[in-house]
Copies of this chain bind each other. A is one copy, B any other.
Amino acid sequence: MNNNMSTADCLERLRALDRERMHISRAAALLQWDQETFLPSGGVEERAEQLAVLQGLAHEKLVCREIGELLDKLRDALSSNYVIQNTQDEFPAGDFIRVLRRDYEKAVKIPVEFVRECAKAEGLSQAAWVEARKQKDFTAFAPHLEKMLDFAKQKAVFWGWEKTQLYNGLLDYFEPSLGVKELTEIFVPLRDRLQLFLKKIAVSPKPDNIFFHHRFEETKQEAFCREVLSGIGFNDKRGRMDVSAHPFTTTLGFNDVRITTRYAASDPLSGLFSVIHESGHAFYELGLDNSLRYSSLAEGTSMGIHESQSRLWENVIGRSRAFWAPWFPRLKDYFSEELGEIDFENFYRAVNTVAPGPIRVEADEVSYSLHIILRFQLEEKLFSGKLSVNELPAAWNTAMNDYLGVKCADDAEGVLQDVHWSMGAFGYFPGYALGNLYALQFWDKLKEELGPVDTMLQRREYGAIHSWLRDNIHRKGRCKEPAGLTREITGCSLSADSFFRYIEQKYTELYGL
């Protein structure tokens, strides 16, 4: 770097380097998208290598000395709220420096040798997890989990966290400024309220599973999904929808955000709810302000806020009476034989059945957060040493029974059900529950400001909702951290009250409690 460069030149150079790295990351994302959608089976092995090369290049481009030097120079030269006036928009340079510094420091503090060792161990660990789950036997996986836990702790040490604060380090990585203390204060009372509420529901009559006895043709399911997707405002000039084993959303460009789903022959809604869920993620990525384009600011600000958007669309909107009022007749058009005799109220009850079970990804709205709180508490105990890896399955089963009244038949539907831990992703789960909480805090504010939202949904008018979400959340990208964003929008800090009130009202009415 030339030491005589002006601040403006430094910033321009830093943006160019960041932009190049973003392009490499997007190319890596395309390799992954293709792997999940269209890659011929023979190409899997080589694809892993291609991906490792591109991810390695993106990492190199982030941790290079020039970035570090430019960041140092610019931190001194720019105030944190510095903004660059362009002809058409303004670029939040202060936020850019802050966010890029965060990413840079997270990356540069981890030795390359350690990253390599981790990647190798993760590969082995995931393979062991697949096998252990197949065998329904935790013991074969335990030594790998032990290792993953160790690596996760070491990572937090590299980032500079105290020995007693390592779990906080990981939580902070996914959701800044929400540590064990803050989450416990929110999650424990929520757990107690949800448990109590679930018990009330348990003793009331259950709706039948109305879809169970039919086969729903996949091509028709897809056609209906595409109609809904387009109806709720997904623009196929800026994205697409394909099929993969596990639904996901990926951003391949500022105007190229792709979602996937999968179809179940016995259930015409499983694929659709995935579509709506992933659309929520996609709307976030597609709603970024144009000025953030091609920079590190052009992403959702945290995993929890991202999840708030997907859960808002899937559950709060997508499982509401008002939403289905116009869509149920259309669904019946597609499946007149299969659904002809079902009336709207039965249908609405069916898509909102509360039935606690062992599997997180199949959980209803009321149970779901309990699955997460359980995982959060077990992770906390693993990190603080209150629980050993070997004691984990028993602790899991006890908590599952305690929180949800559910007995796991074996480890496969218990402690081994999720892939996350096998990849060393500790501190990741809480974001799923946080998504529920943020979603309802935002939704309450949205309704306060927009008025008769149900009428809009009944008319399939989603424009005002999109505008509100875009203005308040999406366009800001990573310029605001979750806590600041929440306060800016709602005037309050994170709380479970909106969420629980929503659950209570909706299901009290539904179950006639």
Interface residues of A (CB under 8 A from B): 20, 23-24, 26-28, 30-31, 34, 38-43, 45-47, 49-50, 53-54, 57, 235-240, 252-256, 294
Contact = CB atoms under 8 A, between A and B. Distances in A.
A256 B39 contact: yes
A256 B49 contact: no
B255 A46 contact: yes
Q: Which of A57, A238, A239 has the most CB of B within 10 A?
A: A57
Contact of A256 (B43, B57, B294): B43
A417 B50 CA distance: 37
A438 to B, nearest CB: 28
10 contacts: A23-B46, A23-B53, A24-B57, A27-B27, A27-B31, A40-B237, A42-B255, A43-B252, A46-B294, A47-B253
A52 B47 CA distance: 21
Q: Which of A24, A28, A43, A57 has the most CB of B within 10 A?
A: A43
A46 B254 contact: yes
Contacts of A254: 46
Contact of A40 (B26, B53, B236): B236
Contact of A50 (B23, B38, B236, B255): B23
B43 A253 contact: yes
A50 B256 CA distance: 12
Nearest to A47: B253
Contacts of A240: 38, 40
A40 B240 CA distance: 7
Contact of A41 (B24, B34, B237): B237
A30 B34 contact: yes
Given A40-B237, A40-B256, 9 more contacts: A23-B53, A26-B50, A27-B27, A27-B28, A27-B53, A30-B30, A40-B239, A40-B255, A42-B238
Contacts of A40: 236-240, 255-256
A41 B41 CA distance: 28
A224 B321 CA distance: 46
A363 to B, nearest CB: 33
A41 B38 CA distance: 20
Nearest to A33: B34
A238 B256 CA distance: 27
Contacts of A49: 23, 294
Contacts of A54: 23-24, 27
A18 to B, nearest CB: 12
Contacts of A236: 40
A135 B46 CA distance: 46
A467 to B, nearest CB: 19
A39 B242 CA distance: 12
A43 B294 contact: no
3 A-B pairs with least C-beta separation: A42-B255, A43-B256, A46-B253
Contacts of A235: 42
A362 to B, nearest CB: 31
Contacts of A239: 40
Nearest to A235: B42
B53 A237 contact: no
Nearest to A236: B40
A43 B50 CA distance: 22
A256 B41 CA distance: 9
A41 B238 CA distance: 7
